[in-house]
Amino acid sequence: MHPAPTASPGGGDPSGTDFTSEKRGGMPESDVGAGELQVGLAPLSKADEMGKSPAKDGDATDATAAAADASDLEVGTNQTDSMRDSKGKRAKWTRFYRRYRLPVHVVVWMLFTAWWIVGLVFQRDRLGWLKPFLVYLAITIRIVMLWLPAAAVMVPLRFVWANTVARVYDLTPKKLHQPLAALLTVGVFLVGSMIPDDAGENTRASRAISLFGLLLMIALLTATSRDWRKIPWHTVIGGMLTQFVIAVFVLKTSVGYDIFAFISEMARTLLGFAKEGLGFLTDEEVPTRTWFLISVIPAIVFFISLVQLLYHCGFLQWFIEKFAVFFFWSLGVSGAEAVVATATPFIGQGESAMLIKPFVPHLTLSEIHQVMTCGFATIAGSVLVGYISLGLDAQVLVSSCVMSIPASIAVSKLRYPETEESLTKGSITVPDDDEKASNAIHAFANGAWFGLKVAGMILATLLCIISFVALINGVLGWVGRYLGIHDPPLTLQLILGYILYPVAWCLGVPNKDLLVVGELIGMKIITNEFVAFKSLSSNAEPYVSMSARSKLIATYACCGFGNIGSLGTQIGVLSQIAPGRAGDVSRVALSALFAGVLSTLTSASVAGMLYT
């Protein structure tokens, strides 16, 4: 447990003085002006040089070159004028906003207040009260925090914290801190999982098995820890407790259920916009088909493009910084670890590492392990919409992404505790993008191109992996026939199902579905989560006859990038960012993959403990 963050004397968001945040913005005006001057003068100097060496009569080649240079001069001048006009418009808008900032904020708040009141009066039966209220509340808080000093919020919070939790913490003997925290956490687990009555297959016995599986994984990680004496138990206990609280909020409260259902509904709506673009490129009937190529890939391309736009506008960095502050303070991790853990569910395993690019060469081994574990433990928003389009429960997928953030931190610190001094300990910084787009349209276009490359990689990977698995199954089937194995035939899925049979049982899966869930987890690790989710969402046996509890646990268990292919991806990305640390990255990669897979399985166990 850590002291509350120190209040900042200035205004703005309440992140406190302990949390440093690098200000983002464009290039200084002097630098931009110099850049513009160079753009405009480069062709001019070339033309002057041509003027010093005039073309001889009859020399067609030199005449053509001179004409081309004159054309370049005109184009360069036009581009410079365009850039100046664009910058001038931005400067005018900036001056206007600074001068009339308060009236602008008041008008915006009044418009949303009117929208919310009208919605309550006329649309309450159709939309309910919670979803519009959450949108209105978020906008109101954001506008208020633009004017309210951070101290006005943080000082009362620090007072309450110091006179409640901190006081109890100080009065308790230091040697009892960790044992009491562990007992409290286990007690919360027992109360949350054992109090609800039996409901069909969701009995207390099945929920107790899920709890046993969670404790068994913690014991396994402790036994195989790099240095169990250095394990930061406050981080582990806080991470597991946070994961459980998030699951309770989603699965046990109507407010949490409605919030995540609203997020899921918005994600589905996002898919509809991608279908509009696909319909324009083809016809009205093509988007209605359920082919993977048609229903999944366009949504991925569109979402990645949208993420790039949000990143260019600075919204994504702002959100990640504010979200990372919580994990930084509550779990006691370094700034780099907090940023990556928070960003991974939104932008992916490779892209999240790019957010801390300046710090990667200086990360400790434990931090490298944590960065890689976060990537293996969850999925990215770019593929989340693809999984939703397969027909999977969007609420489960979204909640799994959030639950995996604290779980990956706790599991990684169990497996590979910190033994060095971190460079980013005590600070949170999200650096600017080194290759920032010139404007929003440029960023959106870059996102479209990047999304196309990601979609192509997914298609090619799936094609090769599924074909290779079919080849292996063909060979195994041929061998199995000589051994008398006919029904079911000997396949890679069958072998993995039996190997992971005990794992499925520890998650609390009903006995009749143990083999099927074991197969899905095995295929997710050997191939990728797309293959497992495609099978889980199919209408073929035995998947269509799985119980609701089995499908829920299997969805949580497969919701992560923990597979062999992602291992190569992360090693490649981190080695490119910091070539000097390639050896360290490779050294901890397998351990991080193991930790990432177990992080996802802990979320499945928690879901099994709470699902009724």
pLDDT digits (tens, 9 = 90+) for 516-546: 999 999 989 988 888 899 889 888 888 889 9
Asked if 196 and 95 sit in the same domain, the reply is: no
Domain shared by 72 and 198, yes or no: no
Question: Which pairs count as long-range contacts for 133-139, CB under 8 Å and 24+ apart, including other chains?
Answer: 134/259, 134/262, 136/112, 139/108, 139/109, 139/112
The answer for residues whose C-beta is within 8 angstroms of residue 556's C-beta and 6 or more apart is 396, 400, 600, 603, 604, 607
Q: Are residues 234 and 148 in the same domain?
A: no
Contacts 24+ apart (CB under 8 A), 283-289: none
d(CA 354, CA 573): 9
Q: Which class for 6: exposed (0-12), middle (13-18), buried (19 or more C-beta within 10 A)?
A: middle
Q: Which residues on neighbouring strands pair with residue 199, listed in sequence order?
A: 202
| Residues 425 and 506 grouped into a single domain | yes
Indicate whether 56 belongs to any domain.
Answer: no
Task: Encode pLDDT of 483-502 as tens digits.
Answer: 888 778 888 888 988 999 99
Residue 45, pLDDT score: 41
Task: Single out the residue in 148, 171, 194 at which a domain terminates.
Answer: 171
Tell me, yes or no, whether 375 and 314 share the same domain.
Answer: yes
Residue 475 lies in a domain: yes
What is the spatial distance between Cα 253 and Cα 75, in angstroms, rounded to a whole number? 62
- pLDDT tens digits along 239-289: 999 999 989 988 888 788 777 777 777 777 776 788 888 888 888 888 877
What is the C-alpha separation between 291 and 285, in angstroms, rounded? 12
pLDDT at 30: 37
Last residue of some domain: 110, 138, 171? 171
Quickly state the pLDDT bin for 424 (edges 50, 70, 90). Answer: confident
Q: Is-contact 390 609, C-beta < 8 A?
A: no
Residue 320 in this model has a pLDDT that exceeds 80 = no
318 or 188: which leads in pLDDT: 188
Neighbours of 278 (CB within 10 A): 18
Mean predicted confidence (pLDDT) in 217-229: 93
565 falls within a domain: yes
pLDDT score, position 483: 85
Give the pLDDT mean for 86-115: 82
pLDDT at position 87? 64
Its domain, for residue 99, covers 1-11+64-171
| pLDDT tens digit sequence for 267-279 | 777 767 888 888 8
**Sequence-separated (6 or more) residues with CB below 8 Å from residue 451:** 300, 301, 302, 303, 304, 305, 382
CA distance 91 to 314: 18
Q: Does residue 543 fall inside a structural domain?
A: yes
Question: Do residues 415 and 386 both lie within one domain?
Answer: yes
Distance CA 310, CA 11 (A): 24
What's the farthest any 2 CA atoms get from each other in the chain? Answer: 100
The residue that leads in pLDDT, 29 or 377, is 377
Contact assessment for residue 448 and residue 267, using Cβ atoms and an 8 Å cutoff: no
* DSSP-H helix ranges across 5-149: 29-52, 60-99, 101-122, 124-127, 130-145
Q: Within 13 A of 29's CA, how many CA atoms are on the CB side?
A: 5
**Cα-based torsion angle of the residue sequence 465, 466, 470, 471 in order, rounded to the nearest 10 degrees:** -30
Q: What pTM was estimated for this model as a whole?
A: 0.73
pLDDT over 80 (residue 603): yes
Which tokens hold the place of 40?
């405009």
Mean pLDDT of 82-100: 72
pLDDT at 430: 64
The set of residues, in sequence order, having a beta carbon less than 8 Å from that of 399 and lying 6+ positions away, is: 246, 247, 250, 251, 260
Q: Is residue 218 part of a domain?
A: yes
The C-alpha atoms of residue 319 and residue 269 are separated, in whole angstroms, by 22
Same domain, 160 and 188: no
Count structural domains, the chain.
2
Flag whether 322 is in a domain: yes
- Closest by CA to 599, choosing from 319, 400, 390, is 400
141 and 198 in a single domain? The answer is: no
| Phi, psi angle pair for 149, to nearest 5° | -60, 145
In a domain, 314, yes or no: yes
> Dihedral of the CA atoms 461, 604, 224, 216 (nearest 10)?
-150
3-class DSSP state of 339: helix
Residue 588 confidence (pLDDT) above 90: yes
Distance of alpha carbon 19 from alpha carbon 325, whole angstroms: 7
Whether 327 and 407 map to the same domain: the answer is yes
Indicate if 562 and 609 belong to the same structural domain: yes
What is the rounded average pLDDT of the residues 319-338? 80
Report the C-alpha dihedral over residues 436, 438, 439, 440, rounded to 10 degrees: -40
pLDDT per residue as tens digits for the range 431-456: 666 667 788 888 888 888 888 887 88
- Same domain, yes or no: 164 and 190: no
Peptide bond into 542 cis (omega under 30): yes
User: Helix, strand, coil shares of the chain as percentages rounded to 5?
Assistant: 75, 0, 25
**Same domain for 423 and 290:** yes
Among 555, 554, 535, CA closest to 543:
535
State which of 127, 150, 171 marks the end of a domain: 171
Burial class (CB in 10 A: 0-12, 13-18, 19+), 562: buried
Which amino acid is residue 471, in one-letter code?
L
Residue-level pLDDT at 22? 41
CA 50 vs. chain centroid, Å, equals 55
What whole-number distance in Å separates Cα of residue 227 and Cα of residue 237?
A: 17
**243 dihedral zone (left: phi>0; alpha: psi -120 to 50; beta):** alpha
Residue 602 lies in a domain: yes
